């Protein structure tokens, strides 16, 4: 209960911050995007993981406020990067959206955050987990269509870990599948079957793929061979705060 009150205050005072993890083109290894990840540095308890505070936010009705903060701050940062570092800026930023945010108010919230910061919709990706899509498939489908009509990109996060039917997937206006990092980890044990199948499926459906959790060069090379579009992982770049990410993008290019 105390945590709920503290989280409410952290959201109101904007002391939830974002870190940005670069996402790279597979062939040329150029950073083309970032994923925004929420961080909470608690004054007494220290770092609290989103694995802990996102569920707390979901159970306490704070998730929409948290979601708005993440959307607004990501769009603000992207717009700042365009102004200050120009061509070195990432082309796109992805935000994670909870199942509970997938309601009729989301498209309007996304549209107004984009407009407030003068960001083109094609520069934003909304990531939705496979399980969130399956919680209420019909409602999710409607929201996804509205988001896609705005022009934002749509990625299915942690793909392969849930139970979304392929028949259903075909009717969702998604643009990208993010291969769950558990399958990328298996590559190191010579097990490429799932990753290979997901990338092939994505290709057939005309979707991009992001391989998550790339930690070794060997994994990156294998993923290149399998035809993954993008790579993301600690082996390529760690998530970084806004200022550190600015320096990273400037020196990287
Ligand atoms: O960044 P990290 O590995 O600590 O993230 C742990 C989990 O928290 C991941 O599943 C990630 O998607 C989720 N997460 C991180 N930031 C956000 C956010 O802003 N909103 C939501 N809904 N989930 C987030
Ligand atoms: O569920 P989602 O894919 O949104 O989770 C993103 C989280 O994955 C980030 O919070 C980040 O901390 C974590 N992550 C990113 N790259 C790696 C990696 O190479 N290895 C591991 N174990 N986690 C990673
Ligand atoms: Mn994600
Ligand atoms: Na994921």
Which among 171, 102, 101 has a CA at the least distance from the CA of 140? 102
> Ligand 2 test: best mutation among 213, 214, 241, most atoms within 8 Å of CB?
213
Residues 6+ apart with CB under 8 A from 86: none
Our answer on whether the CB atom of 49 is closer than 6 Å to any ligand 1 atom is yes
163: CA distance to ligand 1 center in Å? 20
Q: Which residue has the tokens 């199948």?
A: 197
| pLDDT tens per residue across span 58-107 | 999 999 999 999 999 999 999 999 999 999 999 999 999 999 999 999 99
The residue nearest atom 6 of ligand 2, judged by CA position, is 37
Q: Fold for domain 2-252?
A: TIM Barrel (3.20.20)
The Cα–Cα gap between 106 and 253 comes to 34
CB within 8 Å of 65: residues ≥ 6 apart: 8, 11, 12, 57
pTM confidence score: 0.97
Altogether, the residues listed in the chain come to a count of 253
Q: So where are the chain's domains?
A: 2-252
57 Cβ closer than 6 Å to some ligand 1 atom: no
pLDDT tens for 169-219 read: 888 999 999 999 999 999 999 999 999 999 999 999 999 999 999 999 999
The DSSP secondary-structure symbol of 206 reads T
As a whole number of Å, the end-to-end CA separation of the chain is 46
């Amino acid at each position: 209960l105390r945590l709920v009150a503290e989280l409410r205050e952290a959201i109101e005072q904007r002391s939830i911050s974002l870190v940005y993890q670069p996402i790279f083109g597979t062939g040329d290894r150029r950073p083309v995007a970032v994923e925004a990840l929420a961080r909470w540095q608690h004054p007494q308890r220290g770092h609290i993981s989103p694995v802990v505070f996102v569920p707390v936010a979901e159970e306490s009705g704070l998730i929409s406020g948290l979601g708005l903060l993440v959307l607004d701050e990501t769009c603000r940062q992207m717009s700042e990067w365009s102004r200050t570092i120009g061509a070195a800026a990432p082309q796109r930023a992805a935000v994670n959206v909870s199942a509970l945010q997938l309601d009729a108010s989301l498209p309007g919230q996304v549209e107004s955050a984009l407009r407030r910061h003068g960001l083109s919709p094609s520069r934003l990706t909304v990531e939705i987990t496979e399980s969130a899509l399956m919680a209420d498939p019909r409602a999710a489908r409607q929201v996804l269509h509205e988001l896609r009509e705005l022009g934002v990109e749509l990625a299915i996060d942690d793909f392969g870990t849930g139970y979304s039917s392929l028949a259903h997937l075909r009717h969702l206006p998604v643009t990208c599948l993010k291969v769950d990092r558990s399958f990328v980890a298996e590559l190191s044990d010579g097990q490429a079957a799932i990753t290979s199948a997901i990338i092939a499926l994505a290709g057939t459906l005309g979707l991009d793929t992001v391989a998550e959790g790339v930690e070794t060069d060997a994994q990156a090379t294998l993923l290149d061979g399998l035809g993954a579009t993008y790579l993301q992982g600690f082996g390529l770049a760690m998530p970084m705060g806004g200022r550190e990410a600015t320096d990273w993008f400037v020196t990287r290019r």
